[in-house]
Structure 1
């Protein structure tokens, strides 16, 4: 069994739901309290033992590469001003030389195509895939828990969460098979099932561990919903020859690809910070007590 050493982050999206804020700033660089969204996702991967971080970028995404690069002038200034705590914090977040790679998705053909663009950097080994819009809040990272299930099965693993059954038609839903370790075998997947037809209320939440055979399937995958190459379609093909397992994630997931989810994440992380909790809670309560005038 090969260790999960590499993670792919598809960060080529335009972030149209955040315009005009994302006209010049990638949506992945929007801050949740004191860190950009992409930093939370990379930190989750690092906690899981990931050694190589692969970013599939698009136009106007160079600032993401700059964020994960060494900023000599900034580091020198912090050192000269005696801001040792801030300097040490930045250095802890800094990937080591050779740990980051960047490749370009030249045409926006969907998530499946973005994953395929990373094929040469991943090579012939299993890899983690983390959607950068989704950030997870829990004592132990979602990807770390998935790696534990992978180490028990040696196969494909996807993270899932429970939703209200009445809302299942909004998500990609999995069908449940026998229990295995801290998860269960996946016997099927359906994207946005018709109301009342979902095989379960477990939806795919944006974290995957995939075998490298997915790349060959993606290279031959026809366009699906929205005229794009869909990752789910390729996973269904791979399921014909390889088992998939699901890890039910029990933490909180914030969809930072939507303004509502982004605000929710900021509130949740601010309230979880002891230095900010009381102040932020007081502000929220004051807004509720004194609603803004129309």
Structure 2
């Protein structure tokens, strides 16, 4: 708790809400509607962790400040894995930024419009709550955030950003292990000990 208080900004205020039923990511975001109010907001999924010189959310916010509208972090995934992610239909590209023309939740590889996937970081406009409040079931019978985002395309600008840095998939056991290892090796109080442990196991 002391460590958390050390990194928490002095002027921050932390509130929380609970998702009473597991009805999908869209429903989870909808549960925060009263806390968010009528302003742009960020969504961060704990399954995705980023290690970068410039924080992932800062990169997205900077694009949002330039373009307005909605911005999502994206990465290229193997075509055979498109059925695990929300996939973009893309328009014009400008460096790492891409125009989002459409979104499909977990399409089969043969149906995917690209192999560019959304990865766990979003800056969204509050209008999305109107679509989420309709509670329409999508893929897997859940209320999908991707479906609501797709309905906002064509209104305000919508962009994807290939963020700089390393992404760890903490929903995967090995990805979770790798994330812990990578961050531990960056800590002055842990790096030497971690390397020693790794050497011991590598030699056995």
Q: What is the TM-score of this pair, normalised by structure 1?
A: 0.63
- The verdict on how the C-alpha distance between 1:116 and 1:277 changes in structure 2, with shifts beyond 3 A counting, is same
What is the deviation of 1:136?
0.9
- Is 2:45 aligned against 1:140? no
- Is 2:77 aligned against 1:163? yes
RMSD value over aligned CA atoms? 2.2
Kept after mapping to 1: 8 A contact 2:96/2:163: no
Kept after mapping to 2: 8 A contact 1:105/1:117: yes
What is the deviation of 1:248?
0.5
- Is 2:141 aligned against 1:239? no
Q: Alignment partner of 2:83: what SS? A: helix
- Is 2:185 aligned against 1:271? yes
Instruction: Tell me what 1:187 maps to.
Output: 101
Kept after mapping to 2: 8 A contact 1:172/1:203: yes
Q: Alignment partner of 2:43: what SS? A: strand
Q: What is the TM-score of this pair, normalised by structure 2?
A: 0.88
In structure 1, stretches of 5+ residues that fail to align are: 1-66, 68-86
What is the deviation of 1:95?
4.8
Instruction: Tell me what 1:222 maps to.
Output: 136
What is the deviation of 1:267?
1.1
Query: For each residue in 1:132-169, what CA deviation from the matched residue of structure 2 results, as whole angstroms up to 9, or x when unmatched?
Result: 22221111111000011001111100000122334333
How is 1:107-146 mapped onto 2 (pairs within 5 angstroms)?
Answer: 107-146=21-60
Work out which of the two has the higher radius of gyration on C-alpha atoms and give 1 or 2.
1
